[in-house]
A and B are shown apart, each in its own frame.
Chain A
Amino acid sequence: MADLTSSSAGERLAEARRQTNAAARRRRWQLLSPAIIIIAAFGIFPLTITLIYSFLSPGTYGGVRWEFSTNAYVQFLFDRDIFDDTLQFSATYLSIFGRSIGLAFGATVGALLIGFPTAYFIASKPANQRNLWLFLITLPFWVNLLIRTYAILLIIRDEGIVNISLMWTGLIDQPIGMLYTDYAIFAGLIYSYLPFMVLPLYASLEKLDFRLVEAAYDLYASRFQVLRHVIVPMAKPGIVAGCILVFIPALGAYITPELLGGGKELMIGNLIALQFGGSRNWPFGSAAALILLVVVMVSLIVYVRYSGKEGSNHG
């Protein structure tokens, strides 16, 4: 009697456990599938289309012709002579990439130089004020990027408030041509992505144990030495994260160079958009998009590797 009960109890238990596990698994994938499927189908899969398109020939009115071609990639480095079809090295597109990387890198450094003191300033505020400061720093980020860029355009153009003021004070008698220069793009990129720098920096600095700073002062470190040997090393994960978060969107920026560079000063983003618009060279645009994607992915992988290593060092 007892044996019978216990064996059927065991079966019931096994059945209950099996059902619970199976139900949990089923429920999990049911819950996940809409988000996963929609992103996979309309976010990830289109990237493979781009890959395919980059090996096809351009259609006359945009789109592609289904003819295999590596021209899109060749075009990157060479000019095809119209008359004798020979290839000549050309740095036109390479230099656009170089310029983009340079501008994005410069903007990253600039954002770091402004963002670090700002994040440190917030982190050294009393705890109840920090959230308000953080809110103030991040609020502009939620204002449409286009509108923020337009606002910059408004103040730095020849008839803008900056030039008018300078002329009014008599410091200059001609407007300084600030708009449509690399400097304008550079400033616009910093302005656009600065919150991305401040947030991770703040996250690191907030965790900084201030007793360590006191200990360093106690051991005769100067303010600069404390900054260099204690604060900056502790904030390193935040610095790396912030730089990645600024560099990636700055590299692919479209609106900033479009409005502040006036279309003359191209970056990769504009080059890509142009191929799908006026230039009607979709394969070349696809190839440029993929190259941009690769650069971004490599940066991300380097970052993940780095932060993973940091994490295991601490753990």
Chain B
Amino acid sequence: MAKPTQTPATVASPDPVPPRRRRMKDLRKQPGFDTIAWICLFLLYAPIAVLIIFSFNDNRSVVKWTEFSLRWYKAAFENEGIRKATLISLQVAAVSTIFATIFATMAALATTRVRAFKGQTLAYAVINQPLMVPEIVTAVSTLAFFGIIKQATGINGIGFLMLAHTVFCIPFAYMPIRARLEDMNLSLEQAAADLYATPIQVFRKVTLPLMAPGIVAGGMLAFVVSLDDVIITLLVAGPGETTLPVYILGQIRRGITPEINAVSTVLLGLSVVLVSIFFLIGNNKRT
């Protein structure tokens, strides 16, 4: 009975300091900051939560809750326009993600873990250019430029939209790949070379497998960014190239229906899943 290491006794012993006063003593805290942070979090999620909840509402109203139903999802699924727009969104995102990720990987290999070289700053500036120019400016100048090309060559098609997406996806894919590479110690590649691996073998057996999580993360980021783009697509896309966000924008302009909520929820869910995986990869890397 008289075990000396009985912990419950210490836990149960009356606390001489009331909990309120103890919290006041935490010097890290600033008054009101916690409240603002929680309000901030609430404000960030509340509108999205309302949107999601009412996508499951049986009623046409997006305000009064009547009954749980998937009817708007069914309606959205059966909507030809939504289906076509989704397909185009996925096509554009897939193609531009593949190219942007490949180009970003190559650029990251050339710019990380190397001694400073001539033109390095310029190379960084060019790669990050799409992040620095406001989207609307990129959108109109791309529209003007593509207009000239289309007129001069007579070529049309969705390839232009994919090209525009590839351009602004490159810096997003580049960031995580570069971060990953910079975390990789050059001595691993040197060890491989020391153990008779030729440069190609070093790349295939060591560099590529080790940077793979960064490439996957970069690819997912590019995919989400492409999938979410509205402004550039809105201006650059030709007839019949309506992506899902552009379609949604058109619908919102015409009036609010729960169907939009349903489609939005699906698009939102896809982004959240991809970004969550991205986050998990990033966290694993650190451990």
- Asked if A109 is at the interface of the complex by the 8 Å CB criterion, the answer is no
Known: A34-B103, A50-B141. A160 touches B63 (CB 8 A): yes
Q: How far is the CB of A234 from chain B (nearest CB, A)?
A: 14
CA distance A36 to B28 in the complex (A): 46
Known: A49-B141, A151-B48, A252-B135. A120 touches B30 (CB 8 A): yes
- Asked if A103 is at the interface of the complex by the 8 Å CB criterion, the answer is no
The interface residues of chain A lying within 8 Å CB-to-CB of B32 are 117
- Asked if A80 is at the interface of the complex by the 8 Å CB criterion, the answer is no
Q: How far is the CB of B102 from chain A (nearest CB, A)?
A: 8
Find residues 159-177 in chain B having any chain A CB closer than 8 Å to their own CB: 163-164, 166-168, 170, 174
Per-residue contact bits, chain B 132-145, to A (CB 8 Å; 1 contact, 0 not)? 11111111111111
Segment with Cβ contacts to B, from A1-9, A10-18, A89-97, A281-289: A281-289
Q: How far is the CB of B144 from chain A (nearest CB, A)?
A: 5
In the complex, the answer to whether B230 meets A154 with C-beta atoms within 8 Å is no
In the complex, the answer to whether A289 meets B28 with C-beta atoms within 8 Å is no
Size bracket of the A interface: 35 or more
Segment with Cβ contacts to A, from B11-19, B205-213, B244-252: B244-252
In the complex, the answer to whether A117 meets B36 with C-beta atoms within 8 Å is yes
Instruction: Report whether over half of chain B's contact residues are helix, strand or loop; otherwise say mixed.
Output: helix
- Asked if A214 is at the interface of the complex by the 8 Å CB criterion, the answer is yes
The interface residues of chain B lying within 8 Å CB-to-CB of A292 are 134, 136-137
With CB as the reference atom, state the residue of chain A lying closest to B286. Answer: A131
- Asked if A53 is at the interface of the complex by the 8 Å CB criterion, the answer is yes
In the complex, the answer to whether B235 meets A276 with C-beta atoms within 8 Å is yes
Q: How far is the CB of A6 from chain B (nearest CB, A)?
A: 26
In the complex, the answer to whether A227 meets B30 with C-beta atoms within 8 Å is yes
22 contacts between A and B (CB under 8 A): A31-B107, A35-B107, A39-B167, A43-B130, A43-B168, A63-B147, A117-B34, A131-B279, A142-B224, A143-B271, A144-B227, A144-B264, A146-B230, A147-B51, A147-B248, A150-B248, A155-B46, A223-B30, A231-B30, A286-B144, A289-B141, A293-B137
In the complex, the answer to whether A249 meets B141 with C-beta atoms within 8 Å is no
In the complex, the answer to whether A120 meets B47 with C-beta atoms within 8 Å is no
Per-residue contact bits, chain A 34-64, to B (CB 8 Å; 1 contact, 0 not)? 1110111011111101100100000000010
Which A residues fall within an 8 A CB radius of B? 24-25, 27-29, 31-32, 34-36, 38-40, 42-47, 49-50, 53, 63, 114-115, 117-118, 120-122, 124, 131, 135-137, 139-140, 142-148, 150-155, 157, 159-161, 164, 191, 194, 210, 213-214, 217, 223, 227, 231, 248-249, 251-252, 254-255, 259, 268-269, 272-273, 276, 282, 285-286, 289-290, 292-293, 296-297, 300
With CB as the reference atom, state the residue of chain B lying closest to A259. Answer: B252
Q: How far is the CB of B116 from chain A (nearest CB, A)?
A: 12
Segment with Cβ contacts to A, from B78-86, B121-129, B185-193: B121-129
A53, A142, A150: the one contacting B144 at CB < 8 Å is A53
- Asked if B114 is at the interface of the complex by the 8 Å CB criterion, the answer is yes
In the complex, the answer to whether A289 meets B140 with C-beta atoms within 8 Å is yes
In the complex, the answer to whether B41 meets A32 with C-beta atoms within 8 Å is no
The interface residues of chain B lying within 8 Å CB-to-CB of A43 are 129-130, 133, 138, 167-168
In the complex, the answer to whether A285 meets B140 with C-beta atoms within 8 Å is yes
Known: A146-B230, A210-B28, A252-B137. A39 touches B129 (CB 8 A): yes
In the complex, the answer to whether B33 meets A121 with C-beta atoms within 8 Å is yes
With CB as the reference atom, state the residue of chain A lying closest to B35. Answer: A117
Known: A121-B37, A252-B137. A151 touches B168 (CB 8 A): no
In the complex, the answer to whether A254 meets B33 with C-beta atoms within 8 Å is no
- Asked if B50 is at the interface of the complex by the 8 Å CB criterion, the answer is yes
Q: How far is the CB of B129 from chain A (nearest CB, A)?
A: 5
- Asked if B267 is at the interface of the complex by the 8 Å CB criterion, the answer is yes
In the complex, the answer to whether A154 meets B268 with C-beta atoms within 8 Å is no
Known: A49-B144, A159-B63, A296-B133. A147 touches B126 (CB 8 A): no
